[in-house]
Amino acid sequence: MVTESDEKLMAAVRAGDLRKLAVLFERHHRALFSFFVHMNGNRDLSQDLVQDVFFRILRYRHTYVDGRAFPAWMYQIARNASIDTGNKRKGELQLVTNREDDEDRSAREPVSELVAADEAIRRRQEIDLLRRALARLPDEKREVLVLSRFQNLAYEEIAAILGCEVGTVKVRVFRATKALGEIYFELAGERAS
């Protein structure tokens, strides 16, 4: 089956073929959901936001410009949706531990030997610590890091989403990693002492 590009599908949605939105939804809703969970730490809120983004896309479909990269446009809408609800629900940021997801992953990796079990525990602790460090990172730093590390977006796309130069994105990604590292090692030190 020939797969249509995101941009072609979005042009069709704009022209009134609303069913094509379902294809875009199937392609992007997982990544979008994970983006929101990283940003607000709340699964219920993130689920609502994913819905919200796709219906904003419908409502503002006439503003989509031909040839514009769809993911960049979608994440821009996502950021606005996040800001709109984030302002309403400020201070609710909570840390999700995502036990289901963790178990999912460890179930896929054969942990048959004791050494491997030990390694799995160590890795889980590290993931836990990283999650806590991420949650402490200021929003704008966490955002640029999530977009580049988890959403598989090219720097050019991130630059389009954030409305800045590609060079700026690179510097910001590095600074966010550095800030994350500082928090991480601080947390690790607290635990060791």
The residues of the shown chain that bind another protein, judged by CB under 8 A, are: 1-4, 18-19, 21-23, 25-27, 29-30, 33-34, 37-38, 43, 46-47, 50-51, 54-55, 58, 96, 98, 100-102, 104-105, 123, 126-127, 130-131, 145, 148-150, 155, 167, 170-171, 173-174, 177-178, 180-181, 184-185
Distance (Å, whole) CA 30 – CA 153: 14
Q: Which CB atom, from 104 or from 140, has the smaller least distance to another protein?
A: 104
Q: Which CB atom, from 60 or from 167, has the smaller least distance to another protein?
A: 167
Distance (Å, whole) CA 40 – CA 83: 11
Helix (H) or strand (E) holding 105: helix 99-108
Would you say 70 and 7 are in contact if contact means Cβ atoms under 8 Å apart?
yes
Q: How far is the CB of 47 from another protein (least distance, A)?
A: 5
Distance (Å, whole) CA 128 – CA 122: 10
Q: How far is the CB of 184 from another protein (least distance, A)?
A: 6
Q: How far is the CB of 108 from another protein (least distance, A)?
A: 10
Q: Which CB atom, from 93 or from 130, has the smaller least distance to another protein?
A: 130
Distance (Å, whole) CA 133 – CA 103: 21
Q: How far is the CB of 117 from another protein (least distance, A)?
A: 16
Closest among 59, 79, 84 to 160, alpha carbons compared: 79
